[in-house]
A and B are shown apart, each in its own frame.
Chain A
Amino acid sequence: MNKYRIVIEPGSENSNYWKDLWNYRGLFYFLAWRDILVRYKQTVIGILWSVLRPLITIVVFTIVFNKLGNFPSDSGAPYAIMVCAGMLPWQFFSSAFSEAANSLIANSNLLTKVYFPRLIVPASTVIVSIIDFLISFVILIGLFFFYHFIPDWRILFLPLFLLLATLTAMGFGLFIAALNVQYRDFRYVIPFIVQFGLYISPIGFSSTIIYNNANIPDYLKFIYALNPMVGVIDGFRWCILGGSSHLHIPQFIASVGISILFLFIGIWYFRKMEKSFADVI
């Protein structure tokens, strides 16, 4: 028996799918590498875009919410740093999610010509977003210096929340990517989700003002907490701002629960549709 034996049958679950995924890690690496190389080709300021875009939004949000709207900051940290701690994960999520959701269509020439576990395509696009995130992190460091702000030990937990953000983006991304192959309507849904999410997530303001506001009924607070990005951003702020910033544990668990649930739904649906991608794309 050859160790490379492949059996092709209709509808059968590929028993060594995850092993295959591991065998194709080289392709995963090269696709990510390609996307990173291509991203800023023929641009003048290149990689600076990764910094410039979030920086300008942070400035605008700080002016609008803090200077004009008089929103209070979390735990007395400078408002710009609080916005930054929300904006960076949000930018990461929105780019990772939209890239992943559009990745199958963008790589349709590969899907119809070569076999590989299709999960590689959306997964590799997330790497680009992670690199972008790490580059844009210099904004936060710049703000630390500007405001003479020193984060405490909690910042060590940041990778954990980055992982949570990644899993959230992957869950939604995989689900929409698979749907997008069949129904191109989702091409229009993606920017809408991203824009809508910007309003319902605590980016320009702090979650605390929602949870501590007696005028907002409890069920609305609960619905607010179901947004997985609320959990991610609150987590980021807990890490970065330190001090008296605290995590609202029940709401945080609800957010994380939704993230995990969507990750499973995303993978399940993606795997279910995967075999027919080349037929319908």
Chain B
Amino acid sequence: MRNPIITVENISKSYILKHQNNERYTALRDVITNTAKSIFTKQTIINNSKEEFWALKDISFEINQGDRVGIIGRNGAGKSTLLKVLSRIVAPTKGRITIDGRIASLLEVGTGFHPELSGRENIFLNGSILGMSKKEIKNKFDEIVDFSGVEKFLDTPVKRYSSGMYVRLAFAVAAHLEPEILIVDEVLAVGDAEFQKKCLGKMKDVSSEGRTVLFVSHNMGAISALCSTSIILNKGKIEFNGSVDKAVKIYHNIQTTNKNQVYTSQGINKEIFISETYLKNSENENTLAFSHDEPVYVVIKFYANILLDDLLLSISVSDFEDRKIFSSEVLISKVLSVDKKFGEAILEIPSVFLIPNDYKLNVGIHIPNLQVFDFIENICSFSIVDNGSEFSKYVGTDIGCVFSQSKWAII
């Protein structure tokens, strides 16, 4: 039987927000004047300006040995607070956490790096801050230097390093931690693409050795490439806890709420029009988020009161920079007749075609070079979510619009 390595029971964390002063810290002077004021006016002025804010509310979950858990959520959802509570940096307000194992947390790359010290000195300093013993650091020293690729500058103060070198050295130290539980916050969001790939690889190695990893990132590609399960936090509460594929989709659905899911029209004053457009996945579910490796079905319902030949239903997909990705059309006049004024067309956008991004549709009915009967722009926005594609490592870079199926030959 597997025992959970981390048990979190009803954890809550509250902060007191002070509205009165915008300063980052309390000054004794304010405490004294406020106390004095409250003595004279016999009311508690200070309390009026306080407000409780629950960064985490009643969080419970269990993590088993060897699990790789991705924690996702919007800014301010409580991800960082959860990691800080788990790594014992801040104390929870309520609840209880039991952790069975050595834990190391990596909330920042290069914590405690001192600009005046040389690379060599900083490896030792940073290593010990992250919880390594001197012996451990000595044993891994060559490996760390090798991984970072800064051996030429080992004896240069890090203040003279380029920011890339700095980050590489810092991550190299962190990557050689060997705790049973590793907590990582967004650290992959730094460095160039090649180095990010190297980091992701290293993280995979870590987890394949049976160690437990908790990983916070906005990079859904990295999350789905690395994690087995995922927790979605929303406003300090757990929204979902389960498989990573599902979590990524749910997260994107949360992101795209408020956007119009289904386009409908009564076609007032129109003889020929599009009555409904929506998206579904291969399981026939209406959704706005699709994995890059599943097809997208666009369902378009139309109505024609008059019979015309050469009636074309056309669709184009564009991204939010209004860059047209592709267009497609189909002849619909043949399915319409005097008795059948309604028709339905389904377009399958193949899997592994659109690059993970946000898209919208433009649909219309026309007779080429003659007349446009109906044309609707910017409807049914949807997202293609990276589910661990070959390009997931290049998040944030423009790599084109589609997955090319071009073939290579290497001689």
| A residues at B contact (CB < 8 Å) | 1-2, 4-11, 26-27, 29-30, 33-34, 37-38, 41-42, 109-116, 182-186, 275-276, 278-281
Contacts and interface: CB of A to CB of B under 8 A. Distances in A.
A50 to B, nearest CB: 18
A42 B89 contact: no
B103 A6 contact: yes
A30 B121 CA distance: 10
Contacts of B103: 4, 6
B46 interface: no
B98 interface: yes
B148 interface: no
B89 A184 contact: no
Contact of A183 (B25, B100, B105): B25
Given A30-B128, A109-B111, A183-B27, A10 B92 contact: yes
Interface in B82-122: 84-103, 105, 107-108, 111-112, 114, 116-117, 121
B2 interface: no
Contacts of B107: 113-114
Given A113-B111, A184-B25, A278-B89, 7 more contacts: A4-B99, A6-B103, A8-B96, A8-B99, A113-B112, A183-B31, A184-B27
A20 B84 CA distance: 18
Interface residues of B, number: 45
7 contacts: A109-B112, A110-B111, A110-B112, A114-B87, A115-B89, A186-B28, A275-B91
Nearest to B107: A113
Nearest to B9: A9
Nearest to B15: A279
Contacts of A109: 108, 111-112
A149 to B, nearest CB: 40
Contacts of A5: 98-100
A214 B94 CA distance: 62
A252 to B, nearest CB: 34
Contacts of B25: 182-184, 280-281
A9 B92 contact: yes
Contact of B99 (A6, A10, A113, A185): A6
Contacts, number: 119
B101 A113 contact: no
Contact of B117 (A10, A34, A115, A276): A34
B64 to A, nearest CB: 14
A27 B92 contact: no
A45 B107 CA distance: 39
Contacts of A110: 111-112, 129
B125 interface: yes
Given A8-B88, A26-B134, A113 B108 contact: yes
Interface of B: 15, 25-29, 31, 84-103, 105, 107-108, 111-112, 114, 116-117, 121, 124-125, 128-130, 133-134, 157, 180
A229 B289 CA distance: 70
Nearest to A6: B99
B8 to A, nearest CB: 9
Contact of A26 (B92, B102, B108, B128): B128
B91 A10 contact: yes
B56 to A, nearest CB: 12
Contacts of A34: 114, 117, 121, 125
Contacts of B108: 109, 113
Contacts of A112: 84, 89
Nearest to A27: B128
The 3 closest A-B pairs by CB, nearest first: A115-B88, A2-B100, A8-B97
Contacts of A116: 129
A228 B260 CA distance: 74
B129 A6 contact: no
A76 B124 CA distance: 51
Given A110-B111, A114-B89, A10 B94 contact: yes
Contacts of A7: 96-99
B85 A8 contact: yes
Contacts of A111: 89
Nearest to A7: B98
Contacts of A4: 99-103, 180
